Structure 1
Amino acid sequence: MKLTILGGGGFRVPLVYGALLTDHAEGRVTDVVLHDLDAGRLDAVTRVLAEQAAGVPDAPAVSATTNLDAALRGADFVFSAIRVGGLEGRANDERVALAEGVLGQETVGAGGIAYGLRTVPVAVDIAQRVARLAPDAWVINFTNPAGLVTEAMSRHLGDRVIGICDSPVGLGRRIARVLGGDPNQAWIDYVGLNHLGWVRGLHIAGRDELPRLLADPGLLGSFEEGKLFGADWLQSLGAIPNEYLHYYYFNRETVRAYQQAEKTRGAFLRDQQAHFYEQMRDPGAGALATWDRTRAEREATYMAENRESAGAGERDADDLSGGYEKVALALMRAIARDERATLILNVRNRTTLSVLDTEAVIEVPCLVDAGGAHPVTVAPLPDHATGLVCAVKAVEREVLSAAESGSRTTAEKAFALHPLVDSVNVARRLVEGYTQVHPGLAYLK
């Protein structure tokens, strides 16, 4: 099978290739095509992959190209992992928002809207090209904001585009470990939008063990989300929220921590990865070792401002190993080999959540087989969660409308309606600020 990775010069591509190297069964990926607009980044990542493949006799062949159409032709699977505007764009998203006193995170709040506005037109173009050049391909979307971008692409690809994220999987595994269960055997009752979901139950051997966790403050305080949110708040919710909900529940403290940080997350990653790619210009540099060191630092500093504001301390070692590449591999195996699997994915709602329409992309457990990902029936969300999900989905729809129409007024409406933007005037200034720093938003008139 041929796998095309869009954004193939991206830093996390070796994680995907590393997962592919563990698959030796029939029907596996045999050819990987990396596509990127930056030939230098492609060269750097190709070197890392070559060192990963050393000593693996059936390692997938790797090629690289800057020609998008050539990369897509004949693909069985397409991973979309692009970053429109690069990490400089992410740093600008954060800076403009924080100057207005609101959150600039890349998927949540003002930063997520800005990122979506410049990414959706590019993602739609990719979806249209896939439909024309590789109509039988399955698109697995890694590109953030994952739910929003998946919904934009689904309007052209239907159910053949599936969004993935490692946050729900990591959350479920942490809860299962705390409860003494096998994470691979646990059923996770999780529902929401991407980066906006809750674990309402975790079933081990048919029994929901979450109430046992919620009743024990000591257990609650022993893992990442318990440290981040606090045992009292989790007991009040009666659920374990995705870590990204910290931006909503503790917004004032998080914004203050981001404003006081020496560098925002985007600026840190911009500088860190620029150093990595600069090192890769040296043909004598050990590519894989350099990448490993950079990745370890990247993972250890993930959501550092949130943990600092909550007094949560350092991340546990078990949480530093990524995970989205494993979800992607399991998804491909299930579709390509009809190996049925249950995965938490971003898919069209159909009738899963009655408060949203059938086309809305949500994040829920899905049964996956050769026919794709099928969302399972879930119980309704409580009112507080329903309100938040509906509000954020309404914002996503305004972003999609603005990207399609080029309407600046609609873009302002998207910002103004977001729960983490506290004024229409702030929304207007955000649009002005973002259009000044992002050439990719010149289409807004």
Structure 2
Amino acid sequence: MKLTILGGGGFRVPLVYGALLGDHADGRVTRVVLHDVDAGRLRAIARVLAERAAGVPDAPEVTATTDLDEALRGADFVFSAIRVGGLEGRADDERIALAEGVLGQETVGAGGIAFGLRTVPVAVDIARRVARLAPDAWVINFTNPAGLVTEAMSRHLGDRVIGICDSPVGLGRRVARVLGARPAEAWVDYVGLNHLGWVRGLRIAGRDELPRLLADPVLLGSFEEGRLFGADWLRSLGAIPNEYLHYYYFNREAVHAYREAGRTRGAFLRDQQAGFYAGVADPAVPALELWDRTRAEREATYMAENREAAGAGEREAEDLSGGYENVALALMRAIARDERATLILNVRNRGTLAALDGDAVIEVPCLVDAHGAHPVAVDPLPGHATGLVCAVKAVEREVLDAARSGSRAAAVKAFALHPLVDSVNVARRLVDGYAAVHPGLAYLR
């Protein structure tokens, strides 16, 4: 089975390959094709993969190419993890937004809109090529903003594109762990959009244990989201929010922390990864060892500004191991082998949330089999969550309209309607600022 990884020179690709190395069953991935627009990054990651595969006799074969059509032909699965504009673009997204006093995070608020505006046209081109060159392939999208990009691609690929994210997986794992349950044995009632969802229940042997967690301040203070949001706010919500909702519930504090930081997250990763890729270019440097050290630092500093603003402390050791690669592997196995699985995924709504239309991509538990991912029926969200979900989905639709039409007015509208952008004039300045630094936004008129 052939897996094509778009963004194959990306730093986290070795996580996906590592998951594949542990799969020895029939029907597994035997060939991996890395595609990237940067040949140097491809060579660097190929070195890491080669060292990681040492001593594994049935390791999937790895090839690399900068030719997108060549990479897609004959693919059974396409894993998309591209970053249009690179980490320099992410750093610009943050810098321009913070100068206006609004959030620049890469998936939330102004930064997420800017990232989406330059990514959607590229993602749509990829979707069209997949439909032409590999019509039977399944596309697994990890490209951010994941829900928005998955919805853009679904307009050309239908249900054969499925979005994944590690945030719900990590949240469910932490809640189950605190409650003394094995994550694999717990049913996580999670509903929302990507980076905008809530755990509303966690059932173990048919019993919802979330009320026990919400009633115990000691338990609530023993895991990351409990410390990040605070026990009182979680009890008020009656749910455990995805960590990215900290940007909404504590926006003023988050923006202040980011403005006070010595450099933004994007600038940190840009500089850190530049050092990694430069180091791996030296054949004498052990590539896998350098990658491991760099990844450990990356994971330990994840959302550091938010944790500092909330006084949440350091991340737990168990949360430094990633997770999206295991979701991707489980998803591929379920489809390729009809090994039924339940996974939290980004899929078309299909009536699951009555407040949204059927084509809106949402993030919910899904039953996965050889025919794809099928969203599970869920209870409606409470009014405050429904309002936020509908507002952000409306913004995503304006981004899709701007990307389709090239309308600058639609882009301004997307920024202005977002709950974390507080002025139409700020929205206009954001569009001007982003268009000035991102060549990928030249299409806006």
TM-score, normalised via structure 2 length = 1.00
Alignment-derived partner of residue 404 in structure 1? 404
Q: Match for 1:106: what amino acid?
A: E
Matched residue SS, 2:364: strand
Cα offsets for 1:327-375 (capped at 9, x unmatched) = 0000000000000000000000001000000000000000000000000
Does the alignment pair 1:416 with 2:416? yes
Alignment-derived partner of residue 106 in structure 1? 106
Alignment-derived partner of residue 297 in structure 1? 297
Alignment-derived partner of residue 156 in structure 2? 156
Q: Match for 1:354: what amino acid?
A: A
Matched residue SS, 1:385: helix
Deviation, structure 1 residue 232: 0.5
Distance 1:430 1:17 in 2: 38
Structure 2: runs of 5+ lacking an equivalent: none
Alignment-derived partner of residue 350 in structure 1? 350
Matched residue SS, 1:190: strand
Alignment-derived partner of residue 393 in structure 1? 393
Deviation, structure 1 residue 65: 0.2
**Aligned ranges for residues 141-290 of structure 1 at < 5 Å?**
141-290=141-290
Cα offsets for 1:133-179 (capped at 9, x unmatched) = 00000000010000000000000000000000010010001000000
Distance 2:206 2:328 in 1: 26
Distance 1:437 1:337 in 2: 46
Distance 1:8 1:57 in 2: 22
Distance 1:177 1:300 in 2: 20
Q: Match for 1:154: what amino acid?
A: S
Cα offsets for 1:418-444 (capped at 9, x unmatched) = 000000000000000000010100000
Alignment-derived partner of residue 60 in structure 2? 60
Distance 1:214 1:366 in 2: 25
Q: Match for 1:304: what amino acid?
A: A
Alignment-derived partner of residue 325 in structure 1? 325
Q: Match for 1:275: what amino acid?
A: G
Alignment-derived partner of residue 35 in structure 2? 35
Distance 1:282 1:189 in 2: 48
Distance 1:401 1:269 in 2: 31
Matched residue SS, 1:278: helix
Does the alignment pair 1:379 with 2:358? no
Does the alignment pair 1:96 with 2:96? yes
Distance 1:369 1:316 in 2: 33
Alignment-derived partner of residue 133 in structure 2? 133
Distance 1:228 1:162 in 2: 29
Matched residue SS, 1:64: strand
Alignment-derived partner of residue 308 in structure 2? 308
Deviation, structure 1 residue 281: 1.1
Cα offsets for 1:36-69 (capped at 9, x unmatched) = 0000000000000000100000000000000000
Distance 1:93 1:259 in 2: 13
Distance 2:438 2:351 in 1: 38
Cα offsets for 1:210-243 (capped at 9, x unmatched) = 0000000110010000010000100000000000
Distance 1:335 1:96 in 2: 42
Structure 1: runs of 5+ lacking an equivalent: none
Distance 1:234 1:415 in 2: 29
Q: Match for 1:84: what amino acid?
A: V
Distance 1:93 1:220 in 2: 34
Deviation, structure 1 residue 129: 0.1
Q: Match for 2:389: what amino acid?
A: V
Distance 1:268 1:112 in 2: 18
- Number of residue pairs aligned between Structure 1 and Structure 2: 445
Distance 1:241 1:280 in 2: 39
Alignment-derived partner of residue 429 in structure 1? 429
Matched residue SS, 2:192: strand
Q: Match for 2:95: what amino acid?
A: R
Deviation, structure 1 residue 90: 0.1
State the percentage of identical aligned residues: 86
Distance 1:359 1:351 in 2: 9
Q: Match for 1:316: what amino acid?
A: E
Matched residue SS, 2:373: strand
Alignment-derived partner of residue 83 in structure 2? 83
Alignment-derived partner of residue 369 in structure 2? 369
Distance 2:176 2:314 in 1: 20
Alignment-derived partner of residue 115 in structure 1? 115
Distance 2:204 2:183 in 1: 9
Matched residue SS, 1:200: strand
Matched residue SS, 1:421: coil
**Aligned ranges for residues 10-25 of structure 1 at < 5 Å?**
10-25=10-25
Matched residue SS, 2:27: coil
Matched residue SS, 1:342: strand
Matched residue SS, 2:107: coil
Q: Match for 1:251: what amino acid?
A: N
Matched residue SS, 2:415: helix
Distance 1:243 1:216 in 2: 20
Cα offsets for 1:99-134 (capped at 9, x unmatched) = 000000000000000000000000000000000000
Matched residue SS, 2:413: helix
Distance 1:311 1:188 in 2: 27
Alignment-derived partner of residue 443 in structure 1? 443
Distance 1:280 1:424 in 2: 45
Deviation, structure 1 residue 259: 0.1
TM-score, normalised via structure 1 length = 1.00
